Homo-oligomer: A and B are copies of this chain.
Amino acid sequence: MATPIKNKGQIAGQMPGPDPDEQARQSLTRIKQKFIIMSGKGGVGKTSVSVNLAIALAGMGHQVGLLDVDLHGPDIPHMLGISGMLKADDTQKMVPIAYSDHLKIISMESLMPNRDEAVIWRGPVKHGAIRQFIGDVSWGDLDYLIIDCPPGTGDEPLTVAQLIPDAKAVIVTTPQEVALADIRKSISFCKNVRMEIFGIIENMSGFTCPHCHKVVELFGEGGGEKTARNYGIPFLGKIAFDPEMVRCSDNGMAFQQQFTQSPITAAFKKIAEKMAV
């Protein structure tokens, strides 16, 4: 059974501690811009996009925090080759792991003694955990907080929307129709909870065969762009599929640092520039 995060407030129990919602709000005043990376369905490369946008923004000299609230599949530490447990500072706040001078990371996984263990939590427990990841973390002053949410429109994005009313959504999709049906749900979700949609990214959009160098549309093409246009939402760009990206994620290497000249690296930088306006 998974060990839930130890919440000082809850453990102390008897003491009327500080309001955890208020604590989260205070933490957020030191963060200029908050982006929540969403997707209607899983496997569209949302986490990979979150990681690469965070690295691109950090590479531009901004102070960036990357928050992994995908409690059931916290993949960010693995993708970035990070391990180790979180430590607390002298104010008893969790200290995020520094990936570089400009990028700090907090992931559920860092709190789990066994990374193969399933987190079997029902909704209300998740809400508390996410609140702690915002309020009980010494994020310090950040230019950008990138929040990697699990796919769908469940408890996690709902909690983020409630806790961070000024978060903007970046919706990641692949081009095929089944995926698009799901992002229409993400769009409806954002409207329901009144979250601004910053834009849509079309991921895994086209693939060049490494043998014959011809292009194959693995998951179709252009569907994300079309959906953005239909809904009057900004289209942020297309990212091609590259098996090297899978290999980098598997080996804890940042694709952008390994493949500085790739069109994918250029595409991520271009999107990061739009976010940094």
A residues whose Cβ falls under 8 Å from a Cβ of B: 1-2, 4-7, 10-11, 40-45, 72-73, 75, 78-79, 115-125, 128, 150-155, 158, 174, 176-178, 181-182, 184-189, 192-193, 207, 209-212, 214, 216-220, 241, 243, 246-247, 249-251
List residues of chain B with CB within 8 A of the CB of A247.
Answer: 220
Q: List 19 A-B contacts (CB under 8 A).
A: A1-B10, A2-B124, A4-B122, A42-B44, A43-B45, A43-B151, A72-B182, A72-B185, A73-B152, A79-B178, A116-B188, A118-B185, A118-B192, A121-B154, A122-B154, A123-B124, A177-B249, A178-B249, A219-B246
Question: Known pairs A117-B188, A218-B241. 11 more at Cβ < 8 A?
Answer: A4-B4, A42-B44, A43-B43, A78-B178, A78-B181, A117-B185, A118-B185, A122-B123, A150-B152, A177-B250, A212-B212
Nearest first, the 3 A-B pairs at minimum CB distance are: A43-B43, A42-B42, A123-B123
A216-B209, A250-B220 given; A1·B1 CB < 8 A:
no
How far, in angstroms, from A182 to B77 measured CA to CA in the complex?
13
Question: A118 is contacted by which of B45, B123, B153 (Cβ under 8 Å)?
Answer: B153
How far, in angstroms, from A251 to B216 measured CA to CA in the complex?
19
